Amino acid sequence: MVIGGDAAGMSAASQARRLRGPDELEIVAFERGHFTSYSACGIPYWVGGEVDGPDRLIARTPEEHRTRHIDLRTRTEVTEIDVAGRRVRARDVDSGAASWTSYDKLVIATGARPVRPDLPGADAPGVHGVQTLDDGQALLDTLARARGRRAVVVGAGYIGVEMAEALIHRGYEVTVVNRGREPMSTLDPDMGRLVHKAMEGLGITMVNDTGVTEVRTGGDGRASAVVTADAVYPADVVVLGIGVTPETSLARAAGLPVGGHGGLLTDRAMRVRGHADIWAGGDCVEVLDLVSGQLRHIALGTHANKHGQVIGTNAGGGYATFPGVVGTAVSKVCDLEIARTGLREKDARRVGLEFVAVTIESTSRAGYYPDASPMTVKMLAERRTGKLLGVQIVGREGAGKRVDIAAVALTAGMTVEQMTALDLGYAPPFSPVWDPVLVAARKAARAVEESG
Amino acid sequence: MVIGGDAAGMSAASQARRLRGPDELEIVAFERGHFTSYSACGIPYWVGGEVDGPDRLIARTPEEHRTRHIDLRTRTEVTEIDVAGRRVRARDVDSGAASWTSYDKLVIATGARPVRPDLPGADAPGVHGVQTLDDGQALLDTLARARGRRAVVVGAGYIGVEMAEALIHRGYEVTVVNRGREPMSTLDPDMGRLVHKAMEGLGITMVNDTGVTEVRTGGDGRASAVVTADAVYPADVVVLGIGVTPETSLARAAGLPVGGHGGLLTDRAMRVRGHADIWAGGDCVEVLDLVSGQLRHIALGTHANKHGQVIGTNAGGGYATFPGVVGTAVSKVCDLEIARTGLREKDARRVGLEFVAVTIESTSRAGYYPDASPMTVKMLAERRTGKLLGVQIVGREGAGKRVDIAAVALTAGMTVEQMTALDLGYAPPFSPVWDPVLVAARKAARAVEESG
C-alpha cells in the first residue's frame, strides 16, 4: 500500500511491480489529488510559458499506472494510519465516504507542503504557492485575469528565483522580497551577491533583508500589494516561494519517528526506523548528508525518484539502499546558472569543521572560443586533510552542471589536491585547458597547504 | 633548462619561476618555432573562422615569458642532449650557429609530430597538417588561394572531425576518408556509427574502411585529388588528421628510456626513469591509464599543462605527482558532441577484463523542457565487481561535458551500483530527473547482477 501518488510513491509502486507480478503482489496507491507522477519542478516553466502544461509535466497518468496493475485511487485522502492494526483509513474527497483498508507493507510518500507565512492576507485569492499542478493552474488563472503586470515573489530560494524568471517571461514587472541578506540562501552570501546583481541586470527588483508584514487586499478581496516594514509593493499577483516542510502529520499521529527537520526518519533501506514493513521516501523524509554527517530535509524530485526505486526494490523482495546526499542543486534565472553542492561556510562551522574557502573566476570555454562566458567557482576544503567540503558555481551556459564534478568528488571523499589531477573533458568549445573546477581545486590545494 | 616552448615546457618553467626567484634559479628555454604557450587544440576553430588567430591562441608570448625572467630562445633548435655531460647543443635556426649549453636540471617537452602517411604526393603543397600555428597559417593560405571548394580530410579522429567542421564553416564540400570502420575510433564502432550518421546529416561525405593510396597533384604541383583503391576524390585542399606520434628522437639519441608507444617513460613525479634531474611531460611522454593499468600515449593540452605544473613544482624544489589519466576526451562536429572516458570494449578485452556493456537513450534536459536534445550513453562495467570501466556519449548540447561525471567516478574506482545513487544536479533545464549517466548506471548495474 502506497500513500501519495507522486514521484517517490509511484516509483516505489512501479519498481515493486517490475519485480513482482500482479499474482504475487497486490499494490494499492492512494492520492488525494487528480494527478500522479508529475514534475512539480516543471511548474515554473509551465507558468513561464516555456512548457505546455499540465499534461506534459505528467510522467505517468493514473490510467497508465492502472494498466500496470496498480490499484490507484485518486481523489482519495488517507486520514489515519493504524500501525498496530496494519490498516489505513481513506476518505473519498468528493463523496466524503471513508473506510479502512489493510496492508502488509506500507509506503509513506506524503511529500511536502509549502510554508505559508502567518500573515494577514496570506490566504487571499491572488496569493499562490507552486507545489502542485493544481497550484500551477490556479496561478495561471490569476495571471489570465490580472489587469496589471506587477508581480511580487516572496522568497528568493530556488522556487523564488525560478518564479521570478517565469513572470519575467510573462512580461511582468517583478519584485522579489527576501528575508535573507542575499538571494539563494543555499549559497554563501558572497556567491548569492552575484545572483543578486544578475537578477537586477534582468530587470528584477531585489529587496533583501526584508520580511513581509502583510498581504494587502483590494476591494474585490484579492491580493493587491505586499507590505514590508519599509514599503508597499503593489501586486497583481503574489507568489510564495518560501520553502516547504515535510508533510508528516499522518505519520506523526500514527507515532512514527520524526526528526528535527520534521521529516520521517528511515534507515539506509528507506525503512521507517523501528518498523520492518513501513518505508518512507521523497519530500516527507530526512536524508543523511554525507558531507556533514547530519540529517537534512531536501525536497527534490531526483531524490524522491531514487527513494522510490530503493523502496520498490526492497518492498518487492530485493535489496537496495540510499546512501545519502551531498546536497547538490542547480537552478537558473534566465541565462544565469546557479549550482551548489556540499557545505556552505556556515554548514561547515556548524559541524566543527575548519576549512579554507577560495573563489576563482574562469570561463565556460577556452577564453578565445566564441561565447566563452565568465564563471565564478567557490570551493571549500577541510583544513589539514584537504578534503573537499563544498562547491558553489554562478555563471552562464555550462556553469550549472559542472557542479556534478564536485558532487562525485564529494561522494568519493576526494581531497582538493587529488582533484587537481582529475582527467576532465577538454576541448576549446567545452572548457579552458584547466577546467574552472580544476582552477578552483588548485587554489584550494594551495590554501590548504598554507593553512597548516 | 627546458626543451620545447609550448604547454608542458612553459608551464614547467612558469611554475618553477613561481617557486624560485631569478636569484635562486636560472631558467633557459629553447623553442625551435616562433611561438610559445599556444593552444594547438584551437587551430581548427581558427581555420573555421570562429576564432581570430593566431594571436588569440597564444596564452603567453615569448616576450611575456622573458618579462618573468625566463631566458626564452625562440627559433633555436636543440640537436643533441649530452646526458653524461649535462649539456645540450642548440642551433639558431636562422643563422645555423650552434653551441653547447650546460644544465643542472633538464625538462624535455618536445611534443609530438603528426603522422605523415608514406604515400606519393603526401608532401605536396596543398596537403596540410594542423599541429602548429605555422601549419594553421599555411592551411589558411591554401584556402585563400584555392579556386574550388572541395576539401578532403584524411582521418576521422578528433582532428579529422574538427577539421571537417572547420571546412564546412568555410563553405567547403567536405569528404572524410577514414581507414577505420566508423569515424572516431576512440569510440566503440556502435557509437562511432552515430557520429557517422550525424556527419552525413551535416552534408559531410564519410568514406570509411578505406585507405588513401596517393595524393594526386595537378599541373602546378599542388595537391588536386585524394586517391583510394576505389575512387578519386578531387580536392582543392587536403588535410591530414591521422594522429600524432611522440617527438622523442633527441631523447632516444641520448639513450633515455622510451616505451612501446614511442613516448618517454617517467615516474609519478614526471622524472625520466633512471634520471634524477631530467623531467619530461606533455605530448612526448607515455602516461599511466588508471583504468587499464597500462601505459598510453595521449597528446592533449590539458595533460601537458598538468605535467608542466608537476614538473615545475618538483624542479622548483617542491613535491607533486601526476597519478595518470582515465582517457577522457570531448569533441564536437557542428552541434554534435562526442565524449569518451575509460575503456572501449576492445581495450577491456585486451587487458583481460570481462564486462557488461549497455546503451541507453535519454535527453539533455527534462523531456518536456524546450531544446531537450537526445543523447546516447554507452557504459561498460566489469563483471562481478561492477566497477565502472568506461563511458561514451554522443548527443547535442549538454552531452559532452557529462562525461566528467564518469571521469571522476572512474578515478574514484566507483561501481555502477554506487553511481546509481550519485547526487547530481537536477532541474528541468539541466537534466531529466534521472540524469542520462544515472540511467546508464542503473541499466549497467542490472546487467552486472544478471551476468553473475
Chain A, residues 402-431, CB within 8 A of chain B, namely 402-405, 407-409, 411-412, 414, 418, 420-431
Q: What gap in Å lies between CA A430 and CA B158, rounded to an integer?
A: 14
The amino acid present at B79, given as its one-letter code, is T
* Residue of B368, B402, B423 with shortest CB distance to A326: B423
* Residue of A302, A405, A424 with shortest CB distance to B426: A302
* Residue of B408, B435, B442 with shortest CB distance to A412: B408
In tens, the pLDDT along B323-375 reads 999 999 999 998 999 999 999 999 999 999 999 999 999 999 999 999 999 99
Q: Do A426 and B302 touch (CB under 8 A)?
A: yes
Is-catalytic flag, A41? yes
> How confident is the prediction for chain B on average, in pLDDT?
96
* Mean pLDDT along residues B260-272: 98
Residue of chain B whose Cα is closest to the Cα of A434: B302
Whether domain B329-451 has CATH 3.50.50.60: the reply is: yes
DSSP state at residue B37: S
Whether B19 has its CB under 8 Å from any CB of chain A: the answer is no
The amino acid present at A249, given as its one-letter code, is S
Q: Do B423 and A325 touch (CB under 8 A)?
A: yes
Q: Do B431 and A398 touch (CB under 8 A)?
A: no
Length of chain B: 452
Q: What gap in Å lies between CA A68 and CA B39, rounded to an integer?
A: 56
The sheet carrying B76-82 orders its strands as B76-82, B87-92, B98-102
What are the Cα distances from residue B190, in Å, to A402, B184, B353, B393?
28, 11, 20, 11
Q: What gap in Å lies between CA A287 and CA A63, rounded to an integer?
A: 32
Q: Do A368 and B42 touch (CB under 8 A)?
A: yes
pLDDT above 90: percentage of residues in chain A: 94
Whether A58 has its CB under 8 Å from any CB of chain B: the answer is no
- Considering the four listed CATH numbers 3.30.390.30, 3.30.420.10, 3.90.180.10, 3.40.50.740, the one that applies to the domain covering A336-451 is 3.30.390.30
* Mean pLDDT along residues A282-310: 97
Chain B, residues 232-251, CB within 8 A of chain A, namely none
Residue of chain A whose Cα is closest to the Cα of B37: A433
Which cell is A23 given? Answer: 499474482
Please pick, among A25, A33, A34, A41, the residue that the annotation labels catalytic: A41
Range list for CATH 3.50.50.60 in chain B: 2-113+244-315, 116-240, 329-451
Q: Which residues from A are below 8 Å from B365, CB to CB? A: none
Judge contact between A335 and A400, C-beta under 8 A.
no
| Shortest CA gap A319–chain B (Å) | 12
CA atoms within 13 A of residue B93's CA, in its CB half-sphere: 11
| Shortest CA gap B167–chain A (Å) | 17
Judge contact between A170 and A48, C-beta under 8 A.
yes
Which cell is B91 given? Answer: 642551433
Whether domain A2-113+245-315 has CATH 3.20.20.70: the reply is: no
Q: What gap in Å lies between CA B368 and CA A167, rounded to an integer?
A: 19
In tens, the pLDDT along B13-23 reads 999 999 999 99
Q: Do A405 and B400 touch (CB under 8 A)?
A: no
B2-113+244-315, what's its fold?
A: FAD/NAD(P)-binding domain (3.50.50)
Chain A, residues 288-307, CB within 8 A of chain B, namely 300-303, 305-306
Give A21: exposed, middle or buried? Use CB within 10 Å, 0-12, 13-18, 19+.
exposed
Whether domain A116-240 has CATH 3.40.309.10: the reply is: no
Q: What gap in Å lies between CA B332 and CA B162, rounded to an integer?
A: 7
Range list for CATH 3.50.50.60 in chain A: 2-113+245-315, 116-240
Tell me the pLDDT band of A131, cut-offs 50, 70 and 90: confident
* ipTM of the complex, rounded to two decimals: 0.96
- What radius of gyration do chain A's Cα atoms show? 23
Instruction: Just list the catalytic residues of B.
Output: 41
The sheet carrying B336-342 orders its strands as B329-333, B336-342, B388-395, B374-382, B355-363
* Residue of A331, A368, A442 with shortest CB distance to B56: A368
> How confident is the prediction for chain A on average, in pLDDT?
96
* Mean pLDDT along residues B310-333: 97
* Mean pLDDT along residues B61-84: 97
Residue of chain A whose Cα is closest to the Cα of B307: A421
Q: What gap in Å lies between CA A226 and CA A247, rounded to an integer?
A: 27
Tell me the pLDDT band of A367, cut-offs 50, 70 and 90: very high
Q: Which residues from A are below 8 Å from B422, CB to CB? A: 404, 407-408, 411
Whether residue A114 is predicted with pLDDT greater than 90 in this model: the reply is no
DSSP state at residue B365: S
* Mean pLDDT along residues A1-21: 97
